[in-house]
Structure 1
Amino acid sequence: MELTHIGFNDNVKEAYEKIAKVNQIIGRISLEHKRMYRVWTVYGELLCEVSGKLAYGAQSREGYPAVGDWVILTPRSAEAKGTITNILPRKSKFSRKVAGNNTEEQIVAANIDMIFLVNSLNEDLNIRRLERYVTLTWESGASPVIVLTKADLTADLSEKLRVVESVALGIPVITISVVNNIGLNQLKTYLHPGKTVALLGSSGVGKSTLTNYLCGYEKQEVQEIRDTDAKGRHTTTNREMVLLPNNAILIDTPGMRELQLWNSEDGISNSFSEIEELAASCKFRDCQHEKEMGCAVKLAIEEGELEEERLQSYKKLLRELAFLERRQDKKAKSDEKKKWKCTTKQFRKR
């Protein structure tokens, strides 16, 4: 496999050469399943596990490889297998808090240049959910593009476009229909050889259909959405990286029913920049945008320049982020305490 086709460049080469030992090679994670990894290398695709040292040093999921990661490995090419010893620094990563009560980061995709935020133009179009995706995308370091699918199934396209563009704030918005060949040529202009694009969105929005179209063959099974609520069923079950015919790289991901923030302060600022610009003109620096005199944000709402729902969404995400930071601080203290207990116990055994 030609490494330049999968994103290998001078920056990756430099990072690799600083760490790699004799008889080690570089590869890129194309699929992860239960801590086993398919890795693209010069020897083709190898099935790999992480070394004991790498696993021991991983404090959380963030310390394990994710799809899109560049890794250093010791190959066993005769067996088409290998052992991953190092993860190279990530230039970008789309992360969320893991589902459930654990305070832990889940990296959905790494080393991505662009993210297609895929939303369906059916009844399941949710602007507040889209705001979350935009926030996490800005935080990731990748560039967002909003892709609105199933344009052939909506009768009020212009109104839905207006609502989406009101929260997009300069992000490209592309309306497509694979069935009627609408907008697909425009979408392809964002796919460049050696560049990585991730598809993100809820179940049933058309990611698998879009993946199949871009691949030129039936890569993913396609399922119908439910008639009762216009929501979809999971078709893609694993995050997977595929090489497109023009040598662009695509990372397809399962639908995410739960999308919680992770270290998203900058992402919120970028996603709600119009609110933060208004807030800078408030009379009081600590204005909560409730009933304070001289609140520029509330004035904008009264004059129809800003929707109340948009402000409430902004406040909700800030509260969620503050709660997450408190949980992270508590977990960090707990982890540090466990670490010192372990160190003390080992010292006493000597």
Structure 2
Amino acid sequence: MKAVTYRRFGGPEVLTLSELAVPEPGPGEVRVRIVVSAVNPTDWKARAGSGFVAEPELSVPHQDGAGVVDAVGAGVTEFSVGDRVWTLLAAAHAPLSGTAQEYTVLPADRLVPLPDEAGFDEGAAFAIPALTAHRALTVAEDGPRRLAPNALSGKTVLVSGGAGAVGNSAIQLARWAGATVISTVSTETKADLARAAGAHHVVRYTEGNVAEAVREIAPDGVDLIVEVAAGVNAALHTAVLRPRGTVAAYGDDGGTGSVALDFRQNVLLNTRYQFLVLYTVGFDRLREGAEDLNAALRDGRLRLGPDHGLPVHRFPLAETARAHEASEKGVTGKVLIEVS
């Protein structure tokens, strides 16, 4: 079978289209024929050596993908040949379990049924971004642990970077759950994408006073901030949060790697900071998030494409290196690999 592999850390040029043997599922495992694989920043960071993996001997990249169950191992009862599925952190399971290949074998608990209402593109595109957004939207002290219609009713959510993949998912999921959504973006083009995702209000942080603009929309402050630039926006947090508000920080874009907080202002607000990454959140939370994402997909409230604020950029498997390069350069939208 065809697979994209790498044997050392480096730039996109270390990725090679290779021939590997089709793997066989063992007890408790499932083999999936991958139809669509997705590129996330975590994938090229791992390839470059700045992720959560050791120096590779031979690795297949990509955490996210969607496809069809091709074979099941002994003891697997929850999936059958022909089932459509999407993956949970595939490449984190083993060096050769990533989705940038025609077939992968994973434990059954790393697979999620793909609803009939969703395509393989959605299954691959929304896994890490939407699970990250789900986690961000469910960590507030006064908020829900699970998402569903009206779960965030009466809440105001500020989504930083609403044109990004996580920001897009956060907007769509927050709207589905009944929140009022404000998003910050840098350009008018990105503002259009945030509106297409469903943001009620969009503020351009490159012009004017962002805190004043947010406070005009939410005079009592926002309940929750989904934050992609934790260090850069630290001062904004205390300016717009209500008392007992929460910052769910999943990124430090434009930052230094350290976040400086105003102790007095945060104490007075009783601010809650939740830093998050999916790799250590626990599979119980991932499974809960996946169930809620599937519910949103069934309701047609988590959708892909420019009309929903998330343009798609497609590459064949043989051009995975170009796909990584596009993602690293910050292309707006979702990068997908057509595998089979």
TM range (shorter): 0.3 to 0.5
Which structure is higher in RCO with an 8 Å CA cutoff and minimum separation 6? Answer: 2
Q: Under a length normalisation based on structure 1, what TM-score does the superposition of the two structures give?
A: 0.32
Q: Which has the higher helix share?
A: 1
Q: Which has the larger radius of gyration?
A: 1
